[in-house]
Amino acid sequence: MDQIQIFRNLTPAALIAHALKNQEGHLAANGALTVETGERTGRSPKDRFIVKDAITEHTVDWGTVNQAFEPAKFDKLYDEACAYIAQRNHYISDVQVGADPSYAISVEMQTETAWQHLFGRCLFIERSENSVAANRPHWKILNVPGFHPDPASHGTNSTGCVILNFTRKIVLLCGMRYAGEMKKAMFSVMNFIMPEEDVLPMHCGANVGESGNVALFFGLSGTGKTTLSSDPNRYLLGDDEHGWAPKGSFNFEGGCYAKCIDLSKEREPLIWDAIQFGSIMENVILNPETLEPDYHDTRLTQNTRAAYPLKFIEKRIQANHAGLPNSVVFLTCDLYGVLPPVARLTREQAAYYFLSGYTALVGSTEMGHGSGIKTTFSTCFGAPFFPRPPKAYADLLMKKLDQTGAKVYLVNTGWSGGGYGKGGERFSIPTTRNIVTAIVEGQLANAKFETLPGFNFEIPAEVPGVDAQLLDPRRTWKSQADYEANAKELIEKFQENFKRFEVSQAVKDAGPK
C-alpha cells in the first residue's frame, strides 16, 4: 500500500492539478474546474444537526431547522470519520472566517477531495499572521464525502450529515459532495457566536460607494443578492455573509458563490469575468466539443453554481471590511405581484419584514423543493442558518438602526401587474438597478412619498430612470378587484406567519392589515 500523504496549504493551481489527477472534474474553456455533486445538488436541511449540550441546550432555537444531536453519537461518528480519512490522502489548510481580526475565528479545514478544498480556499479567508486576534476561537472542519454514516447506528437521517459541535468547535460533514454545505455550516457558527459580541450576523451582500457609503442587500438565493451587490459602479465588499459590528461592517468570507443559471456577460459582467482558472463550477453542463459552459442547461439542477475568490473581482474593497451601513435593502421576490418595486420602512416595519423574510424560493438551493418557484417566509432572510431564536437578531437589527440612522427599504425583484404565471411580469434587472442606485446614492432621501393602503408603508412618487407607473402596484393591474383580492391573500399570509413571533406590540402593529 502506498504511503498516505497529507497535503498542507497547497496553492489553488496545485489543488486543481490534484483534482484533475484524481478525476474529480474537468477544466472548462473559461478555465474553471467543473465538477458534479451527484444526487445532492443543494443543501440538505434534514441532514443538518447541532450537538445539544451545556452550551446549546438553552440558547439554540430547537426544531425542524436546528435539529438536536447527542454528544455521544457525535463523538462516535467523528472518531470513525477521523479513522476513515487517516487511511487516505487528504488536504489541510489554515483559513479563517471573518475579515475583522477582532471577530474572526481561525479554522483548520481538512477535506478528502482536492476540489472541495479548492472551494474552501475560494470561500474562506486565507489566514496570515495577525489576521485573527490571539484570543479568538479555533475551529475545525472535517469533510469526508466518501464516508457515509449509517442512520441505524449513527443516529443520522440519511447517509449524509452536517453536524455542528459548539463545545468541541468542530463541523463534521459526512457523505456530502455539495460544497455549499461547508460555507453555510461556518455561517451558522458565526450566527451563533456573533450576537454575544454585539455583532449582527447577516445573510446579505454588501458594496461600498466612492464616498465610502455602505449598502447591504438581504435576500434568499435567486432574488438578486449577488447580482445587485456586484455593481460595476461600486466596490464589492461581499455577496452573501457579513457582520455589522459596533464600529463597522465586515465580510465573513474571502470569495463569492454565485448562481449560474442563465448567466450572461451583459447582465452580470463581474460574475462572468470572475469565473476563470482558480474558480469552480458546480453542476454546469459543458459543450462536449468546445468545453464552453452552457448556463441555460439545467438538466442536473437549476442550482448551478460558481465559486471564486474575491480577488477575481477587480473593483472590490481590498481590506474586506468597511464602515457602518448607510442603506439596508430587503430583497423580496413577490409572486403575487402586489408589492411595489420599492418601499421605505420605519424602524418597526424593518423588524417586521426582517422577521417575516417574505420572498420566493427561486431554483432552490435546498434538496426536496423541486425545480419550481414558490412563496416562502424565511426568517431573517436566512432561516436555515440562524441557530438562536429570531427575536435575538431582530432586536440587534433595531439596535443597529438606532445607533446609525441607516435607512431601510423593501425592494421587490418579483412580479408586477399580476401574479407569477397569471399575467404578471417580473421587474427587469435594469429597473431594479435604477431603484437600488437611487437608494444607495441618497436620491430617495428627499423624494415625495405616499402610503400604500393595506401594507401601510411609504412608496415614492418618482425614481430616476424608472417608469412612475410601476411604483404604485395598484396602477399596474388591469383589474383593481383582482389586485385587492391578491393583496388581501398575501396580507393574510403575513399575519398568519407572524403569529409565531414574540415581539413588542409596536413591531406587531407595523405589519400589513
Q: Is 52 a catalytic residue?
A: no
- Of 18, 40, 43, 90, which one is the catalytic site residue? 43
Catalytic residue, chosen from 183, 184, 234, 433, is 184
Query: 209 near 440, Cβ under 8 Å?
Result: yes
Catalytic (active site) residue 168 = no
> How many other β-carbons are positioned within 10 Å of the β-carbon of residue 263?
19
Active site residue 225: yes
Among the options 47, 231, 239, 240, which is catalytic? 240
Rounded Cα–Cα distance for residues 131 and 29 (Å): 35
> Does the active-site annotation cover 221?
yes
Looking up cell 453519537 gives 73
CA dihedral 77, 80, 81, 85 (to 10 degrees): 180
How far is 196 from 194, CA to CA, in rounded Å? 5
Told to judge if 305 belongs to the known catalytic residues of this protein, a careful annotator would answer: yes
Options 52, 121, 203, 316, the catalytic residue: 203
Among 34, 221, 301, 432, the one annotated catalytic: 221
The answer to whether 139 touches 104, Cβ cutoff 8 Å, is no
Q: In which element (H, E) is residue 165 found?
A: strand 161-165
Residue 341 in 3-state DSSP? Answer: coil
The Cα diameter of the chain in Å comes to 75
Helix (H) or strand (E) holding 76: helix 71-86
Region class of 23: left (phi > 0), else alpha (psi between -120 and 50), else beta: left
- Look up residue 85 and give its DSSP letter: H
Of 18, 242, 305, 316, the active-site residue reads 305
In the set 183, 225, 344, 433, the catalytic residue is: 225
As a whole number of angstroms, the distance between CA 205 and CA 214 comes to: 11
Q: Which of 56, 113, 156, 226 is catalytic?
A: 226
391 carries an active-site annotation: no
**Grid coordinates representing 132?**
485573527
* DSSP designation for 276: S
As annotated, the active-site residues are 43, 184, 203, 221, 225-226, 240, 305
